[in-house]
């Protein structure tokens, strides 16, 4: 038979305690006096605000039956009972059958000769070994407190480990779910991107085709108005000449825009390749300067060219000229008075070309809008300067995608701007 005794602080009306408020202790010994001594010695024991719940077993067989139904923090275990090794049967059952590594086992034997300490420690998974004669009241209290402290620490560690393993499992499941989601989204984005590229190419091809169709009638308008303006088909009045001049100028401007749109479309569709040739940059800059000479004179601006020495390039001459002209035309449009400077210098394997002006400039907030198609910065000159907003975008496309270089810009509102491009010198 087994009996159980609960210990609490000495109060007349002490409240009842749940199982979690107590340390479950199993005392296994065939001597009833040992049970009585244990309960008296640990009568006032409290650890972490928990009292003891002591269960008694008077044989190994009885202890095993109890262990099948209940777990314990500490077992005070005698060895020699119904057999000389009965206590070892309890140890083996707990550790191997129940696979319980947590419960603290304290051997308490009155016949150490039949169960020597070294033999027991070497061959059985126990946690402490005591002879009954050395377990006085204080020593038993200390031994129990040490065992329960170890048990609590081990349980806390095990709980932490279990919590970490659960979190790792959740994290792994989440990671797998996320990976599948990312794979699915990546696949969708890849298909969508491929479709967008296909549509973009079709758009560019369509624009190029339609623009070509538009150029034919525009060339006719320009050609015939030019013939009339030169007087080759007869004399015309001044008013008629003025109107025809406007038509001719507008047609040329429209044709220029269409050519730019065609070029952009072809570049985006990958249908244009650079045609490199050897040329002198100084001569090219002079040619571009002559192209804007009339516009510069009309606005009473000054143009300065700063090239210290002859610079030779092997690049697409037409595209370099187009890029510098876009920069220079832009500078003329947005400069009311002052100076425009074209500069160039070599930097290792590159040539850097800059166009600076003393125009209206812009702040950092507007800088992000530059080099985007059909974007024009807000200013008092926006209306009178005119333009389609594709010049800088066109320049960026040419420099980066055809010439293998890069564009850059710096500006200060009210003081002017510097636009530049950096391209390989080539061989």
The CATH number linked to 20 is 3.40.50.2300
* pLDDT of amino acid 414: 84
CB contact at 8 A, 36 and 8:
no
Q: Are 130 and 28 part of one and the same domain?
A: yes
DSSP 44: T
Confidence of residue 251 (pLDDT cuts 50, 70, 90): confident
CB contact at 8 A, 301 and 333:
no
| Sign of the dihedral defined by the CA atoms of residues 259, 261, 266, 267, in that order | positive
* pLDDT of amino acid 388: 55
User: Which string of DSSP letters, residue by residue, matches 140-181?
Assistant: HHHHHHHHHHHHHHHHHHHHHHHHHHHHHHHHHHHHHHHHHH
Per-residue pLDDT tens for 275-289? 999 999 999 999 999
Per-residue pLDDT tens for 294-312? 889 999 999 999 987 889 9
Distance CA 397, CA 387 (A): 18
Per-residue pLDDT tens for 205-248? 776 676 667 777 888 888 888 888 888 888 888 888 888 888 98
- Backbone angle region of 376, left / alpha / beta, with phi > 0 → left and psi within -120 to 50 → alpha: beta
CB contact at 8 A, 89 and 124:
no
The first and second tokens of residue 50, run together, are: 């928990």
Distance CA 319, CA 276 (A): 10
Confidence of residue 7 (pLDDT cuts 50, 70, 90): very low
* pLDDT of amino acid 389: 65
Q: Nearest-5° angle of CA 396, CA 402, CA 405?
A: 60
The first and second tokens of residue 387, run together, are: 């333009």
Q: Strand pairing partners for 339?
A: 302
Q: Are 104 and 201 part of one and the same domain?
A: no
More confident residue, 254 or 88: 88
Q: Are 287 and 420 part of one and the same domain?
A: yes
Q: Are 111 and 220 part of one and the same domain?
A: no
* pLDDT of amino acid 26: 97
Nearest to 344, CA basis, from 423, 426, 415:
423
| In a domain? residue 323 | yes
Q: Which residue has the tokens 């190419």?
A: 201
Q: Which residue has the tokens 């000479």?
A: 293
| In a domain? residue 169 | no
More confident residue, 2 or 318: 318
More confident residue, 407 or 201: 407
Distance CA 128, CA 108 (A): 9
Q: Is 278 helix (H, G, I), strand (E, B) or coil?
A: strand
Q: Are 337 and 412 part of one and the same domain?
A: yes
Task: Calculate mean pLDDT across residues 89-116.
Answer: 94
Per-residue pLDDT tens for 104-136? 999 999 998 888 999 999 999 999 999 999 889
* pLDDT of amino acid 14: 33
Q: Are 301 and 366 part of one and the same domain?
A: yes
| Sign of the dihedral defined by the CA atoms of residues 115, 116, 121, 123, in that order | negative
DSSP 400: I
- Percent of the chain exceeding pLDDT 70 equals 88
Domain of 244, CATH number, reads: 1.10.287
- Percent of the chain exceeding pLDDT 90 equals 52
Of the candidates 241, 269, 297, which is a domain's last residue?
A: 269
Q: How many domains does the chain have?
A: 3
What CA–CA distances, in Å, run from 136 to 40, 103, 131, 165?
A: 12, 23, 10, 43
Identify the top-confidence range among 63-77, 156-170, 219-233, 407-421: 63-77
Q: How many CA atoms lie within 13 A of 165 on its CB side?
A: 6
Per-residue pLDDT tens for 357-379? 998 888 877 777 787 765 655 54
Domain of 316, CATH number, reads: 3.30.565.10
Confidence of residue 273 (pLDDT cuts 50, 70, 90): confident
Asked whether residue 316 carries a pLDDT value surpassing 50, the answer given is yes
Residues contacting residue 93 through CB under 8 Å, at least 6 positions apart: 64, 67
Q: Are 226 and 337 part of one and the same domain?
A: no
| Sign of the dihedral defined by the CA atoms of residues 355, 358, 362, 364, in that order | positive
Asked whether residue 315 carries a pLDDT value surpassing 90, the answer given is yes
Distance CA 221, CA 228 (A): 11
Q: Are 264 and 281 part of one and the same domain?
A: no
CB-count exposure of residue 397 (10 Å: 0-12, 13-18, 19+): buried
Supply the mean pLDDT for the chain: 85
| In a domain? residue 129 | yes
Of the candidates 246, 269, 292, which is a domain's last residue?
A: 269
CB contact at 8 A, 77 and 106:
yes
Question: Would you give the end-to-end CA distance of the chain in angstroms?
Answer: 104
More confident residue, 274 or 405: 405
Domain that holds residue 212: 195-269
Confidence of residue 415 (pLDDT cuts 50, 70, 90): confident
Per-residue pLDDT tens for 154-209? 999 988 988 999 899 999 889 889 989 998 899 999 998 888 888 877 776 776 67
* pLDDT of amino acid 12: 30
Q: What is the pTM of this model?
A: 0.49
| In a domain? residue 144 | no
Q: Nearest-5° angle of CA 32, CA 37, CA 41?
A: 155
């Amino acid at each position: 038979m087994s009996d159980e005794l609960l210990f609490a602080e000495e109060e007349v009306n002490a409240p009842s305690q749940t199982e979690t408020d107590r340390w479950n202790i199993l005392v296994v010994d065939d001597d009833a006096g040992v049970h009585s001594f244990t309960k008296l010695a640990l009568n006032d024991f409290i650890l972490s605000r928990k009292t003891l719940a002591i269960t008694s077993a008077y044989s190994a067989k009885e202890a095993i039956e109890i262990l099948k139904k209940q777990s314990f923090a500490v077992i005070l275990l005698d060895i020699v009972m119904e057999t000389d090794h009965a206590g070892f049967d309890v140890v083996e059952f707990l550790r191997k059958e129940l696979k319980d590594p947590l419960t603290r086992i304290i051997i308490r034997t009155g016949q150490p000769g039949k169960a020597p300490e070294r033999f027991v420690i070497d061959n059985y998974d126990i946690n402490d070994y005591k002879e009954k004669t050395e377990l006085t009241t204080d020593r038993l209290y200390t031994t129990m407190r040490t065992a329960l402290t170890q048990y609590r620490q081990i349980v806390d560690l095990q709980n932490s480990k279990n919590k970490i393993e659960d979190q790792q499992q959740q994290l792994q499941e989440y990671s797998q779910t996320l990976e599948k989601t990312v794979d699915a989204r990546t696949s969708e984005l890849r298909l969508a991107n491929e479709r967008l590229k296909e549509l973009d190419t079709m758009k560019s091809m369509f624009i190029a085709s339609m623009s070509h169709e538009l150029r034919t009638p525009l060339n006719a308008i320009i050609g015939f108005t030019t013939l009339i303006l030169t007087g080759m088909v007869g004399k015309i009045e001044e008013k008629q000449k003025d109107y025809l001049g406007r038509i001719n100028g507008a047609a040329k401007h429209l044709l220029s825009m269409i050519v730019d749109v065609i070029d952009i479309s072809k570049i985006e569709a990958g249908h244009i390749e650079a045609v490199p040739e050897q040329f002198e940059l100084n001569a090219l800059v002079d040619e571009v300067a002559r192209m804007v000479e009339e516009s510069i004179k009309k606005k009473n601006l000054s143009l300065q060219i700063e090239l210290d020495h002859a610079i030779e390039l092997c690049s697409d001459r037409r595209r370099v000229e187009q890029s510098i002209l876009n920069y220079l035309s832009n500078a003329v449009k947005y400069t009311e008075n002052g100076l425009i400077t074209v500069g160039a210098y070599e930097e290792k394997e590159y040539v850097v070309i800059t166009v600076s002006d003393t125009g209206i400039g812009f702040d950092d907030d507007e800088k992000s809008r530059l080099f985007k198609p059909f974007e024009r910065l807000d200013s008092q000159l926006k209306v009178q300067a005119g333009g389609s907003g594709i010049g800088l975008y066109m320049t960026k496309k040419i420099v980066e995608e055809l010439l293998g270089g890069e564009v850059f810009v710096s500006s200060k509102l009210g003081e002017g701007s510097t636009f530049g491009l950096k391209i390989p010198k080539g061989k």
